[in-house]
A = this chain, B = another copy of it.
């Protein structure tokens, strides 16, 4: 009846959960949210073709999915004009971030990110015994120069950059990233999390270059494609680096229905364009609602808008709590000075109407 021995690392880790889900909040509240605007899902949903394909796939779910995800990888490779050997599929970008930490982080290795950037990445770095080096945002953007400096100074194994940025919505166009890549020290892997790139100005996206083994691009079907529940993300990179994932990934970890849905979603670029247009309109509407309450919406290239509440973190937290109490599921950045903001995901008119009604009341209650 003795306890098993945990590793020293696991013993040292906090029982930290990066994001409490809206379902847990609903259970605690005892009632559902009326507007689900906190997880940057796409309420507009996936392509009807993807829904149809997933419905049709249900019956065949007695079969494991192809562990090589051949059809999906081939389609993604064609879409990006690269080879199938440049693509690896994971259980969302989250799953791939965990794997990339395992590939390159030794205990105590430095890993550079921005202070207030994606908590799930930090969670994986901690789980891989990496040492996080956090660089301050500058003007609500990831500070590429300071990040490169930190990567050099700390001899970092990974530099994490999210573009468009979550939680701020800001965006660096290709030229800025080219300069960043040009000045990266040898031996650092730039992990470019582009979960939100489908809603960014496409002409300004950094082109994919699979000849550079120092850069991995992370994409997902969870955001603009509207398939968060499918858990299908992918990384694009140099073939020799992509091949390394085979040594450690859960080869049978990808679910069949999600894989089939993602393929159908990718093949319906017309629907994606319409969803992106709806997201753009929703961004504008969120901005109007914020301005209507005297708050400042930040420019966003993502499927959410981050709103500056104009005071400190405690105030923004009270505004957020007021929204939650009024049945609006939303989130906010956790680190100062970003935490003066709340973050509202794009939604349909009816979702944003709930938000529009709740915001002034939440602001008034926040004092």
Contacts and interface: CB of A to CB of B under 8 A. Distances in A.
B104 A7 contact: yes
A252 B70 contact: no
Given A244-B6, A257-B257, A46 B18 contact: no
B213 A3 contact: yes
Interface of A: 1-8, 10, 13-21, 23-24, 27, 36, 39, 41-46, 51, 54-55, 57-68, 70, 91-92, 94-95, 98, 102-106, 120, 127, 157-158, 186-189, 211-214, 222, 226-231, 240-241, 243-244, 246-248, 250-258, 261
Contacts of A98: 250
Contacts of A23: 66, 68, 70
Contacts of A44: 62
A261 B255 CA distance: 12
Given A1-B212, A1-B214, A213-B3, A243 B64 contact: no
A7 B54 contact: no
Contacts of A95: 250, 253
B61 A43 contact: no
A97 to B, nearest CB: 9
A2 B62 contact: no
17 contacts: A1-B213, A2-B186, A3-B187, A3-B213, A4-B158, A6-B103, A10-B104, A15-B247, A17-B251, A18-B251, A24-B66, A62-B229, A65-B229, A127-B247, A228-B256, A255-B255, A255-B257
A58 B63 contact: no
Nearest to A223: B62
A interface majority secondary structure: loop
Given A17-B246, A62-B229, A253-B91, A2 B55 contact: no
A157 B8 CA distance: 13
Contact of A213 (B4, B212, B213): B4
Contacts of A70: 23-24, 27
A221 to B, nearest CB: 10
A61 to B, nearest CB: 4
A5 B67 CA distance: 27
A241 B3 contact: yes
A178 to B, nearest CB: 13
Nearest to A36: B63
A1 B54 contact: no
A45 B65 CA distance: 14
A10 B248 CA distance: 8
Contacts of A68: 21, 23-24
Given A3-B241, A39-B64, A231 B247 contact: no
Nearest to A48: B59
Given A62-B44, A157-B4, A54 B91 contact: no
Contacts of A45: 59, 62
Contact of A231 (B4, B19, B252): B252
In the complex, the 3 A-B pairs of residues with the closest C-beta atoms, listed nearest first: A229-B256, A4-B189, A2-B186
A189 to B, nearest CB: 4
Given A229-B256, A247-B15, A248-B127, A4 B64 contact: no
